[in-house]
Amino acid sequence: MLLEAKKLLMTGVLTPESIAFAAAQIAQEQGAEVVLTSFGRAMGLTEKSARRLPTPVDVLEMDANDPEQIAAVAAELTGRWGSLDGFLHAIAFAPQDALGGNFLNTPWESVAMAVRTSAYSLKAIAVELLPLMKEHGGGIVSLDFDARFAWPLYDWMGVAKAGLEAVTRYLARDLGKHRIRVNCVSAGPLRTVAARGIPGFETIADAWADRAPLGWDTGDPMPVARTVAFLMSDWASGITGEIVHVDGGYHAIGAASPGAASPGA
Dist CA 53 CA 44 (whole Å): 15
Q: Considering 120, 154, 177, 250, which one is annotated as catalytic? A: 154
140 forms beta bridges with 87, 182
180 forms beta bridges with 138
Dist CA 186 CA 240 (whole Å): 14
Single-letter amino acid, residue 237: S
Told to judge if 154 belongs to the known catalytic residues of this protein, a careful annotator would answer yes
Q: Considering 161, 170, 177, 250, which one is annotated as catalytic? A: 161
Residue 261 burial class via C-beta count within 10 angstroms: exposed 0-12, middle 13-18, buried 19 and up: middle
Q: Helix crossing, 155-175 with 121-133: angle to 10°?
A: 30
Q: How many whole angstroms from its chain centre is CA 208?
A: 20
Told to judge if 6 belongs to the known catalytic residues of this protein, a careful annotator would answer no
Q: Which residue blocks in 1-154 are alpha helix, DSSP H?
A: 19-29, 43-50, 67-80, 108-115, 121-133
**Annotated active-site positions, please?**
154, 161
